[in-house]
């Protein structure tokens, strides 16, 4: 087994996904302690250029028309071949639809341990410890990694994506994929989600409401705050699931990925599936009655307060500032 850390690079429709840069950032840091190399694994077709800004030492690139877009059938076969041949210390995959799909299959097929919802990995001499967010992010679980190849599903939040980007292109090492002519799954087409009244991914100020808003009747308080600040209201999943806001306002794993200048999280706990969609916001402000809520771990500013009390006060203050300006 080598001390190299392999990172499975996710891309969708020609875009490298943010989680890939976050994982490269995590791998680079670990490699400094372990002395191994940070190796990206890029599967695709005519996709070599996607490796251009990855801060990896090397990118193993496998080119085949069957790898143009993700399918679990083709990807797991190729990754199983690479991991079996190269025996990396760790193989990092995103805690995403793609990454979780693959990690389970690979773990079973290669009989390798799998750590899910992993936020950080820390080196202590030769041994490695992981920190995982469990129970919707409420509990941080720590544990040691076995001294074999381990598969990791990583959540965002532990590292900044910028640290996984570089102006210097990595070395590309082509790798011949195993035969892929008998696959059972192929991608027929992408179905884009319907566009809504606003595109929250383009907004500079987002007022995000969660279950803490308690009732649909309270939403106008958030609308008023958004109007006073020149922003737009978005939400966590419970709010959208109850039909209080359109699905196009959902932030997170199954919704939109946003990176506004300011993200105000009102009564949102900070579950990993929500954080996945908003952790790249420049300034996160959290308001929550529970001082242990995980959202405070990623917020720059926070208030332990009832959103129903604080929203009208914030709105009033924002209006006052506007009047003066
Ligand atoms: C496969 C999958 C995909 C998912 N995708 C998404 C996704 O895309 N987006 C998403 O958001 N979730 C998603 N989820 C759900 C996610 O796991 C969480 O359940 C959800 O994010 C929790 O939303 P919340 O923070 O609003 O609610 P909760 O976790 O219930 O938190 C409510 C918070 O409000 C606080 N609170 C209560 N009352 C008040 C008050 N009066 N004032 C201030 N604070 C108050 C509480 O202390 C608590 O922290 C997904 C889950 C799965 C399994």
Q: How far is the CA of 156 from the centre of ligand 1 (A)?
A: 16
Q: Are 98 and 129 in contact (CB under 8 A)?
A: no
With a 6 Å cutoff on the Cβ, whether 228 touches ligand 1 is no
Where among 123, 157, 174 does a domain terminate?
174
Q: How many domains does the chain have?
A: 2
Is residue 136 scored above 70 in pLDDT? Answer: no
For residues 54 and 167, state if they share a domain: yes
Q: Which residue, judged by its Cα, is nearest atom 41 of ligand 1?
A: 306
With a 6 Å cutoff on the Cβ, whether 231 touches ligand 1 is no
**Confidence band (pLDDT; 50, 70, 90) for 270?**
very high
pLDDT of residue 280: 86
CA neighbours closer than 13 Å in the CB half-sphere of residue 117:
18
With a 6 Å cutoff on the Cβ, whether 16 touches ligand 1 is no
Where among 139, 157, 174 does a domain terminate?
174
For residues 164 and 234, state if they share a domain: no
For residues 9 and 93, state if they share a domain: yes
CATH code for the domain of 206 = 3.40.50.1220
Q: Could you tell me the pTM of the whole model?
A: 0.72
Q: How far is the CA of 67 from the centre of ligand 1 (A)?
A: 35
CATH code for the domain of 74 = 3.40.50.620
For residues 25 and 150, state if they share a domain: yes
Rounded (10°) CA dihedral 27, 28, 34, 40 = 60
**Confidence band (pLDDT; 50, 70, 90) for 126?**
confident
pLDDT tens readout for residues 300-309:
999 999 999 9
Residue 270 tokens, joined? 């900070």
In a domain, 193, yes or no: no
With a 6 Å cutoff on the Cβ, whether 229 touches ligand 1 is no
Q: Looking at residues 156-185, what average pLDDT do you find?
A: 92
pLDDT of residue 322: 83
Could you give the CA distance from residue 138 to residue 269 in angstroms, rounded to a whole number?
8
In a domain, 183, yes or no: no
In a domain, 194, yes or no: no
For residues 223 and 158, state if they share a domain: no
Q: Looking at residues 89-116, what average pLDDT do you find?
A: 96
**Nearest of 162, 268, 253 to residue 210 by alpha carbon:** 268
pLDDT of residue 125: 77
Residue 44 tokens, joined? 């695709």
Is residue 153 scored above 80 in pLDDT? Answer: yes
Residue 207 tokens, joined? 């007022």
In a domain, 184, yes or no: no
With a 6 Å cutoff on the Cβ, whether 94 touches ligand 1 is no
Is residue 137 scored above 70 in pLDDT? Answer: no
Share of the chain above pLDDT 70, in %: 98
Q: Are 22 and 108 in contact (CB under 8 A)?
A: no
Calculate the average pLDDT of the chain. 94
For residues 207 and 166, state if they share a domain: no
Q: How far is the CA of 315 from the centre of ligand 1 (A)?
A: 23
pLDDT tens readout for residues 193-251:
666 778 999 899 999 999 999 999 999 999 999 999 999 999 999 999 999 999 999 99
Q: Are 131 and 139 in contact (CB under 8 A)?
A: no
Cα Rg of the chain, angstroms: 21
In a domain, 278, yes or no: yes
Report the SS3 class of residue 189.
coil
pLDDT of residue 48: 96
Alpha helices in 55-179 (DSSP H): 72-86, 97-110
With a 6 Å cutoff on the Cβ, whether 136 touches ligand 1 is yes
With a 6 Å cutoff on the Cβ, whether 237 touches ligand 1 is yes
With a 6 Å cutoff on the Cβ, whether 153 touches ligand 1 is no
Characterise 214 by phi-psi region: left (phi > 0), alpha (psi -120 to 50), beta (else).
left
Report the SS3 class of residue 147.
coil
pLDDT of residue 203: 94
For residues 161 and 13, state if they share a domain: yes
**Nearest of 300, 251, 289, 285 to residue 267 by alpha carbon:** 289
In a domain, 122, yes or no: yes
pLDDT of residue 262: 97
Is residue 158 scored above 90 in pLDDT? Answer: no
For residues 206 and 108, state if they share a domain: no
Question: Which ligand 1 atom sits nearest the alpha carbon of residue 211?
Answer: 26
For residues 46 and 123, state if they share a domain: yes
In a domain, 249, yes or no: yes
**Nearest of 79, 128, 131 to residue 107 by alpha carbon:** 79
Q: Which residue, judged by its Cα, is nearest atom 37 of ligand 1?
A: 212
In a domain, 237, yes or no: yes
User: Helix (H) and strand (E) counts for the chain?
Assistant: 8, 16
List the domain range (segments joined by +) for residue 137: 5-174
Angle 186-190-196 from CA coordinates, rounded to 5° = 160
For residues 163 and 59, state if they share a domain: yes
Instruction: Give the residue with greater pLDDT, 126 vs 278.
Output: 278
Rounded alpha-carbon distances, angstroms, from residue 188 to 48, 64, 155: 23, 17, 29
CA neighbours closer than 13 Å in the CB half-sphere of residue 61:
21
For residues 208 and 127, state if they share a domain: no
**Nearest of 312, 223, 313, 226 to residue 262 by alpha carbon:** 226
**Confidence band (pLDDT; 50, 70, 90) for 276?**
confident
For residues 166 and 247, state if they share a domain: no
Question: Which ligand 1 atom sits nearest the alpha carbon of residue 268?
Answer: 25
pLDDT of residue 323: 83
Could you give the CA distance from residue 211 to residue 219 in angstroms, rounded to a whole number?
11
Alpha helices in 144-254 (DSSP H): 219-229, 237-241
Q: Which of 78-92, 113-127, 255-269 has the lowest mean pLDDT?
A: 113-127
């Amino acid at each position: 087994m080598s001390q190299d850390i392999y990172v499975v690079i996710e891309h969708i429709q020609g875009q490298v996904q943010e989680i890939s840069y976050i994982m490269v950032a995590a791998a680079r840091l670990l490699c400094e302690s372990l002395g191994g190399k940070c190796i990206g694994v890029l599967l695709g077709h005519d996709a070599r250029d996607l490796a251009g800004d990855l801060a990896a030492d090397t990118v193993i690139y496998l080119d085949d028309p069957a790898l143009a877009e993700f399918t679990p059938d083709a990807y797991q076969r190729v990754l199983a071949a690479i991991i079996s041949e190269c025996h990396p210390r760790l193989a990092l995959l995103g805690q995403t639809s793609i990454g979780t799909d693959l990690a389970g299959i690979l773990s079973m097929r290669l009989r390798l341990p799998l750590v899910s919802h992993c936020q950080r990995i820390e080196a202590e001499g030769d041994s490695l410890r992981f920190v995982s967010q469990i129970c919707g992010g409420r509990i941080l679980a720590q544990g040691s990694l076995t001294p074999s190849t381990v598969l990791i599903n990583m959540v965002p939040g532990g590292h900044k994506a910028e640290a996984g980007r570089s102006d210097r292109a990595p070395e590309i090492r082509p790798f011949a994929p195993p035969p892929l002519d008998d696959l059972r799954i192929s991608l027929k087409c992408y179905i884009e989600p319907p566009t809504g009244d606003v595109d929250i991914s383009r907004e500079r100020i987002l007022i995000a409401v969660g279950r803490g808003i308690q009732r649909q009747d309270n939403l106008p308080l958030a609308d008023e705050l958004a109007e006073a600040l020149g922003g737009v209201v978005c939400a966590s999943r419970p709010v959208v699931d109850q039909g209080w806001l359109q699905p196009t306002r959902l932030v997170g794993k199954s919704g939109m990925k946003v990176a506004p200048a300011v993200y105000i999280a009102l009564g949102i706990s900070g579950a990993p599936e929500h954080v996945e969609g908003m952790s790249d916001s420049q300034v996160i402000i959290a308001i929550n009655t529970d001082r242990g809520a995980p959202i405070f771990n990623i917020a720059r500013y926070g208030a332990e307060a009832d959103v129903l009390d604080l929203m009208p006060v914030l709105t009033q203050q924002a209006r006052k500032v506007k009047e003066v300006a």
